[in-house]
Chains A and B, each alone.
Chain A
């Protein structure tokens, strides 16, 4: 079953613009992780945010977590054509340890137009 639900399902922006993707989940979490997948290829780990954290940054990426709303957002600033990919959020349940299975959302397709 899908725990995370990403929104929107697809996003098309111009190079240089910011891209914001949202993820909502249903049950308590230990942590939430964002991944990128280029067409049919492997999953690249972008960032992990723990349930007691509210915001994390990594380069052009900014992730926020609101546990009261059970939601997270991924912001990519100054997007590039190379950011075109599918983005997934995935959660680790709060009832298990940090090193437990991930439950994935269906993903967001981001297209960055040159």
Chain B
């Protein structure tokens, strides 16, 4: 158990819909990262927040947005979903000894 929690574990939705994925970092970690894992793109960095502020952005689509709240939990919002958005979405938090990942949310868009 990494100490990073993510909900929900699975999400099945239809094209055009909007979903919210939630993440709580390990106690004491200020940074939260979001990654997407798909068969064709592999593991891709989406966005990083540090203590409530956006720190870095990767190849995140404009239809996707994220935020980190004062209690340091983070949410990733995916809207106007397409079939190609089906993937595993991971959240991670980092400390002095590395970046630790949550169990992921498997998103299926039908």
Give the shortest distance, in Å, between A6 (CB) and chain B (any CB): 11
- Which single residue of chain B is at the shortest CB-CB distance from A92? B99
Q: Is the CB of A42 within 8 A of B102?
A: yes
Decide yes or no whether B80 CB sits under 8 A from chain A: no
Decide yes or no whether B28 CB sits under 8 A from chain A: no
* Cβ contacts under 8 Å, B90 to chain A: 42-43
Q: Is the CB of A42 within 8 A of B2?
A: yes
Q: A106-B42, A107-B42 are in contact. Are A101 and B101 (CB under 8 A)?
A: no
Q: Is the CB of B94 within 8 A of A99?
A: yes
Decide yes or no whether A41 CB sits under 8 A from chain B: yes
Q: A100-B48, A101-B48 are in contact. Are A42 and B99 (CB under 8 A)?
A: no
Q: Is the CB of A101 within 8 A of B58?
A: yes
A residues near B (Cβ < 8 Å) are: 2, 31, 33, 35, 40-45, 47-48, 88, 90, 96, 98-107
Q: A33-B99, A99-B50, A105-B42 are in contact. List 14 more A-B contacts (CB 8 A).
A: A40-B88, A42-B101, A43-B92, A44-B2, A44-B101, A45-B2, A45-B99, A88-B43, A101-B58, A102-B35, A102-B99, A103-B45, A104-B43, A106-B42
Interface CB pairs A-B, < 8 A, 15: A2-B42, A31-B98, A42-B101, A42-B103, A43-B101, A44-B101, A96-B56, A99-B31, A99-B94, A99-B95, A101-B45, A102-B45, A102-B99, A104-B43, A105-B42
